[in-house]
Amino acid sequence: MAVIAGARTFHQVRVTVKTGFMPVMKVSWCTSPLALMFAQRFLPPHVWVPFFNLISFVIGTYINAMTKKKRIIAIMKKKKNSGYELKKEEKDYYIKKDSRD
């Protein structure tokens, strides 16, 4: 999933897993029982599959966005003292800082 979200190197994948796995599990542990209780109480059984797909899509999109943001911040912190900075329009590429800046 980290590669799909934009990770290109082993380090980026490792940082993504470190920062994103437990939050994903916590959200899953909280939302799954709540969604199931809501579906059992208020929805007919033939609507459950689309309902759970919608819930999974929304939560998955949110988690992927937050994980990618955390991964970029972690990479920026690692590269902060190495003389490189992130280009604003291309977040996965690094450019050497000019001494005149």
Query: Which pTM was predicted?
Result: 0.58
Q: Which amino acid is at 20?
A: G
Domain boundaries, the chain: 10-96
Question: CA-CA distance, 27 to 21, in Å (whole number)?
Answer: 10
Banded pLDDT at 27 (limits 50, 70, 90): confident
Residue 91 tokens read as 């977040």
What is the tens place of the pLDDT at every residue in 40-57?
999 999 999 999 999 999
Q: Which residues of 69-96 are buried (b: 16+ CB within 10 A; e: fewer)?
A: ebbbebbeeeeeeeeeeeeeeeeeebee
The pLDDT assigned to 51 comes to 97
Q: Please give the angle made by the CA atoms of 63, 68 and 72, to the nearest 5 degrees.
A: 150
